[in-house]
Amino acid sequence: MRHIVQLDKVATQRFLRALPRAASDQPQWLLVQGGMARLSAQKGADSACLSGAQRLRVLERLSHRANQMDVYFNDDLGSSAWVLSFEGQRLTLVLNAQPWRGFSGDGQLLSDLAKGPDSARDVITAKIRAHLHWQSDLTPKAVAAACAISQAAAEQGLARLAAAGLLGFDLTGGHYFHRVLSFDLGKIDTLYPRLKDARALVNAGAVTLIGTTSGDVKSGDVVHRVREKAGQITCTCPWFAKNHATRGPCKHMLAVEITRDAEHG
C-alpha cells in the first residue's frame, strides 16, 4: 500500500464525523485539500477509492483521543488502511475494495503459501518460529540472516506465519511484529479454498508445464491455459476472466506455481 495522506487531529475528526450514516456500496474518492479531507463522487489526481464508507464510522468514537490519522491505499486491489495514532499506540483498520467479501487471496499471500515443497516449507517455518520472541521489528533480511536462510525463503516463511496469526504487519514502519492470535498453524491450507483446490489438481497430475512460467491445467473436461504476457500471468478460466489480478491468482495459476517449484526448485 502507498501512503496517501496524514491528517492532524482536527482534520481527522471532521472527516470521520462527516461520513455517511446510511450503508452504501457506491465507490467514492478521498480528496485532500488544504490539509482537510472529504469524500467525492469524482476521482482526484492522487486519491483513494472507498466503497462502503460507513465502515469507517467505527473510528469516530476514538478520534478525539487520536493525534493523527494516516491513510494508505493499494492501487491494484482497491483496499485501504486507516491508521489512528495515539500516545505510544496505533490502531489500523483495513478495508477491502468490496464490503461484501473478505481478504482471502488478495495480493501475493496465496503464492507465498504455495511456494516450495511441503517438507522445505515446514523446516523454514519451524526455524523462523523458533526465532520469534515478541520482536516489534522483523524484516525478511534480518530474519534470513538470523535463521541462515535465503531472503526469499524468509519472505515466504513470514507470510505463512502471518497467515497463521503469529505475526502482524506494521504499515507505518514497513515491517512485521510478533504477536499471537488463536489460529491453528496446521489448518492454513484449509482456510484458502483456491490453494486447497490447486494442490488437488497437482496431486491429480493435471498440470503440464510449458517453460518456467506457463502451463496447461486440465480441470474436468476443460484445459485451462496459464500464460505469461508482458510480465503478467493470465489464465483462460472464467474466474480469472471475472477478477483478473484484483483477487490474487486462480487455482490453475497456483497449480502451475506449485508444479514449477517442485520440478525446478
% of the chain beyond a pLDDT of 90 = 46
- CA 23 – CA 28 distance, rounded (Å): 13
The predicted pLDDT at position 48 comes to: 85
What angle do helix axes 140-147 and 118-131 make, rounded to 10 degrees? 100
Quote the Cα angle for 72-78-83, to 5°.
Answer: 25
Res. 1: pLDDT tops 90 = no
Tally Cβ neighbours within 10 Å of residue 84. 20
26: CB partners within 8 A, 6+ apart: 51
Average pLDDT over residues 227-236: 88
Q: 15-65, pLDDT tens digit by residue?
A: 999 988 888 888 899 988 888 899 988 887 778 888 888 999 999 999 999
Q: Which residue has the higher pLDDT, 163 or 145?
A: 145
Q: Which long-range contacts (CB under 8 A, 24 or more apart) does 123-126 make?
A: 124/149, 124/153, 124/154, 124/156, 124/157, 125/157, 125/160, 125/161, 125/185
% of the chain beyond a pLDDT of 70 = 92
- Write down the mean pLDDT value for the chain: 87
Contact 54, 20 (CB under 8 A): yes
- Domains contained in the chain, CATH given: 2-95 (3.10.150), 109-187 (1.10.10.10), 193-264 (no CATH)
What angle do helix axes 140-147 and 151-163 make, rounded to 10 degrees? 110
Q: 98-145, pLDDT tens digit by residue?
A: 877 766 666 667 777 776 666 677 888 899 999 999 999 999 999 999
Average pLDDT over residues 75-95: 90
